[in-house]
Amino acid sequence: MYGLGDVGFFDRVAPLYDLAMPPADGEALAAGLAHAECPIERLLDVGGGSGRAAAALTGPDITVVDASVEMLSRARRVRGLSGLAGDAGRLPFRDASVDAVTIVDAFHHLPDQDAALAETARALVPGGALVVREFDPDHPLGRLLAVGERAIGMESRFRAPDDLAAAMDDAGLDPRIVDRGFGYTVAGVRR
């Protein structure tokens, strides 16, 4: 069984992960990052695994942060990205030290989502943006994905866009729902 936040699953599937997952939606990420109220020079891709989302972005200096050492190894080796092993609930970065954070297709795997939002808000500069790309559990395909992840032993916690936006607001971020659907995007700008 792979419990909530257990990186063992991702360590095991790292060699095949990029073969099974489609590329990240760079346009949706760019639309979310456009909400930042400051220039984006330093970006963290939290839960970025193999660097799939980072590869869809251009411009800023990107550091992939993930708890799976094997996924980070792929980000470094295959994509040439900077990577740092870390916990989304205890980011190893100073207060107000990054301009943007992305969490792509990974938020539902985080063991303490509220801690991750609080840590992101702490690490962001004022006007910096968090962009979360996730799956809507109220969408028919989202329900199917949730059932599938439970079937393989994951305890993923999916949140609907409005619920995630409310949680961002509670963490000190000004939320904006960028798009909706099976895959949706919510941006939060640090107040």
- Looking at the chain, the whole-number percentage of residues with pLDDT higher than 90 is 88
Amino acid occupying residue 52: R
Instruction: Tell whether the model's pLDDT for residue 93 goes beyond 70.
Output: yes
Structure tokens at 188: 């939060």
SS3 159: coil
Position 5 scores a pLDDT of 63
Whose structure tokens read 């107040």? 191
Position 29 scores a pLDDT of 97
Q: How far apart are CA 20 and CA 4, in angstroms?
A: 21
Q: How far apart are CA 137 and CA 146, in angstroms?
A: 7
For residues 52 and 16, the answer to whether their CB atoms sit within 8 Å is no
Q: How far apart are CA 28 and CA 132, in angstroms?
A: 10
- How many other β-carbons are positioned within 10 Å of the β-carbon of residue 22? 8
Q: Residue 177's beta-bridge partner residues? A: 186
Position 1 scores a pLDDT of 37
**Superfamily name and number for 6-190:** Vaccinia Virus protein VP39 (3.40.50.150)
Question: Each residue of 28-51: pLDDT tens digit?
Answer: 999 999 999 999 999 999 999 999
Q: Quick one: 96 exposed, middle or buried, by C-beta within 10 A (0-12, 13-18, 19+)?
A: middle
- Confidence category of residue 8, pLDDT binned at 50, 70, 90: confident
For residues 112 and 89, the answer to whether their CB atoms sit within 8 Å is yes
- CA-closest candidate to residue 26, choices 136, 183, 159: 183
On average, the pLDDT of the chain sits at 94
Question: Each residue of 95-133: pLDDT tens digit?
Answer: 999 999 999 999 999 999 999 999 999 999 999 999 999
Position 108 scores a pLDDT of 96
Whose structure tokens read 């992960």? 17
- Confidence category of residue 2, pLDDT binned at 50, 70, 90: very low
Q: Flag whether the pTM goes above 0.75.
A: yes
Structure tokens at 92: 């190893």
